[in-house]
Structure 1
Amino acid sequence: MHIGHTGHGHAGHHHPAGGGSSWRTAALATLHCLTGCAIGEILGMVIGTALALSAGATVALAVALAFVFGYALTMRGVLKAGLPVRQALKVALAADTVSILVMEIIDNTVMMTVPGAMDAGLASFLFWGALAFALVVAFFLTVPVNRWLIARGKGHAVVHAYH
């Protein structure tokens, strides 16, 4: 997921000649993705845990909200650049879908595999520690995916046309 592209210094992004992609660019794109994913993921985990939903229902809610917030944050930036809503949605879908999907698979897999994390309460260090760990793991494993996508003019690369 990517956040809106305002005030964070995109001018410093480096896109090597020949369509390559730097690790810095991929890391920044992934950080954008992580922002929306984390908002949705945390909100979904908090709501699901507070309502004592099953682990599966909580994960489904967290994933749905991660996509909503990821797309919304990207759309905010491209709408600000003057795109109509329909075009902004298309850009957000193209820019974020693969990144969000990979990040969500990784972070929810980590959450589900940390013993007791999904059943720990909101006041538990286990819950918050596992969630933070899951998001960090997802970030580091998604950076190479975003680097690959950007090098091919896909993913976050589609957003750059609207700066």
Structure 2
Amino acid sequence: MSRLVTHPSMLTRSHAPWRQLAWPGPRLSASFHIGLARKACQPKSKCSQSTTAARSHDSTPTPSSSSPTELEFWKSATTWRRSTINTLRCLIGCSIGDFTSMWYLQLFHPNMDMNAIMAISMACGLSSSLLLETTLLRYGRDRLPWAAAAKTAVGMSMISMITMELAQNTVDYHLTGGVVQLDSPSFWLAALISLGAGFLTPLPYNYIRLRKYGKACH
């Protein structure tokens, strides 16, 4: 009768504790995998949050519904920063062609009329600004093809560039008569003042264009 321990009912009862001990295994395994999944998702969510923040930081500011006549319209630090960078890029591009052509024409064509020199210098300033912007759009963050980069550069605000050139050359002509003297400290001082005028004149317009319509000159 001692061999009756192998009766199926007793065998089931004898193995039942093993099933009870083995049953928590899958539960622990499932909870373990869930914990791993949660840990794996945490860095991913942080990365996506940082990526979203970076994109929102670099993106164009959202157009404002307020009016330029309201004080609140002019309190956007993001718009001021973006419009300042855009205006500075335009100033560098315009100044390269403007001062270079003015120096070249006065050096190699001294008998040319000053009005003609100033007009040619302004045209060269606009051309160098477009060339610089095209190059930045091609090799910068946007990585546009040459054709698309040139089309985008031409589509910039010409009002901003023209007012910049007019202000810069007007101040320079008033202070130096348009004469380039590289060895004169007064020339460099006048150049700094004219650059400041060229920067400040289109800056409010660029701010309004970006703040009101979400359009940048660059």
Pairwise same-fold verdict (TM > 0.5)? yes
Partner of 1:34: 91
CA contact (8 A) 1:75 1:92 kept: yes
- Which structure has more helix as a fraction of its residues? 2
Q: Secondary structure at the match of 2:135?
A: helix
Q: Secondary structure at the match of 2:202?
A: helix
Question: Which segments of structure 1 move beyond 4 Å, counting only runs of 4 or more?
Answer: 10-16
Distance in 2 separating the partners of 1:113 and 1:33: 22
How far does residue 16 in structure 1 lie from its aligned partner after superposition?
Answer: 4.2
Partner of 2:100: 43
1:107 aligns with 2:164: no
Distance in 1 separating the partners of 2:197 and 2:56: 27
1:57 aligns with 2:116: yes
Query: Any unmatched runs of 5+ in structure 1?
Result: 1-9
Q: Secondary structure at the match of 2:177?
A: coil
CA contact (8 A) 2:103 2:180 kept: no
Structure 1's 119 and 43: CA in aligned 2 closer, same or farther, altered over 3 A? closer
Relative contact order, higher structure (CA 8 A, sep 6+) = 1
Query: Any unmatched runs of 5+ in structure 2?
Result: 1-54, 65-72
CA contact (8 A) 1:48 1:58 kept: yes
Structure 1's 76 and 68: CA in aligned 2 closer, same or farther, altered over 3 A? same
Q: Give 1:54's aligned amino acid.
A: D
Distance in 2 separating the partners of 1:40 and 1:12: 32
**Amino-acid identity (%):** 27
Q: Taking structure 2 as the reference length, what is the TM-score of the superposition?
A: 0.58
Give the stretch that moved more between structures: 120-129 or 94-103: 120-129
Q: Taking structure 1 as the reference length, what is the TM-score of the superposition?
A: 0.75
Partner of 1:17: 62
Structure 1's 42 and 12: CA in aligned 2 closer, same or farther, altered over 3 A? farther
Give the stretch that moved more between structures: 139-148 or 85-94: 85-94
Give the stretch that moved more between structures: 33-42 or 43-52: 43-52
Structure 1's 55 and 77: CA in aligned 2 closer, same or farther, altered over 3 A? same
Q: Tell which structure's C-alpha radius of gyration is larger.
A: 2
CA contact (8 A) 1:48 1:61 kept: no
